[in-house]
A = this chain, B = another copy of it.
Amino acid sequence: MTFLSNLTIISKLTVVSDCCRRVHKMNVAKPKEEPGRQSRQQRGYARTRSKLLTAARSVFTEKGLSASVDEIAERADVARGSFYYHFKTKERLINLMVEDVLSELTNRMNKEGADKKGLEAVLDGIIQAHIGFFSNRWQDFVLYYQGRADLTLEESYDGLKKPFLKYARSIEELIEAGTSEPIQDARLRRIASAIAGFMAGYYSFAIIASTDQDIDKEFISLRGAFVTSLARFAKEALP
A interface residues (Cβ-Cβ under 8 A, vs B): 61-64, 66, 141-142, 145-146, 148-155, 161, 164-165, 168, 186, 189-190, 192-194, 196-210, 212, 218, 222, 224-226, 228-230, 232-233, 236-237
Q: Which B-chain residue is minimally distant from A198 (CB atoms)?
A: B198
When distances are taken between beta carbons in the complex, the residues of chain B under 8 Å from A233 are 225-226, 228-229
Number of copies: 2
- Inter-chain CA distance A237–B224, complex, in Å, is 9
- Least Cβ–Cβ distance between A232 and chain B, in angstroms: 4
Q: Is A152's CB under 8 angstroms from B204's CB?
A: yes
Given contacts A64-B153, A225-B237, contact A204 B209 (CB under 8 A): no
Contact check: which of B145, B200, B218, B229 meets A190 at CB < 8 Å? B218
Q: Is B192's CB under 8 angstroms from A209's CB?
A: yes
Q: List 6 A-B contacts (CB under 8 A).
A: A62-B155, A145-B149, A152-B207, A196-B201, A198-B201, A225-B237
Q: Is B205's CB under 8 angstroms from A197's CB?
A: yes
Q: Which B-chain residue is minimally distant from A237 (CB atoms)?
A: B225
Contact check: which of B64, B229, B230 meets A66 at CB < 8 Å? B64
- Least Cβ–Cβ distance between A121 and chain B, in angstroms: 17
When distances are taken between beta carbons in the complex, the residues of chain B under 8 Å from A168 are 205, 208-209
Q: Which B-chain residue is minimally distant from A169 (CB atoms)?
A: B209
Interface of A is mostly: helix
- Least Cβ–Cβ distance between A137 and chain B, in angstroms: 13
Q: Is B148's CB under 8 angstroms from A205's CB?
A: yes
When distances are taken between beta carbons in the complex, the residues of chain B under 8 Å from A148 are 149, 204-205, 208
- Inter-chain CA distance A23–B230, complex, in Å, is 56
When distances are taken between beta carbons in the complex, the residues of chain B under 8 Å from A190 are 206, 218, 222
Q: Which B-chain residue is minimally distant from A224 (CB atoms)?
A: B236
Q: Is A210's CB under 8 angstroms from B193's CB?
A: yes
- Inter-chain CA distance A196–B237, complex, in Å, is 19
Q: Is A197's CB under 8 angstroms from B192's CB?
A: no
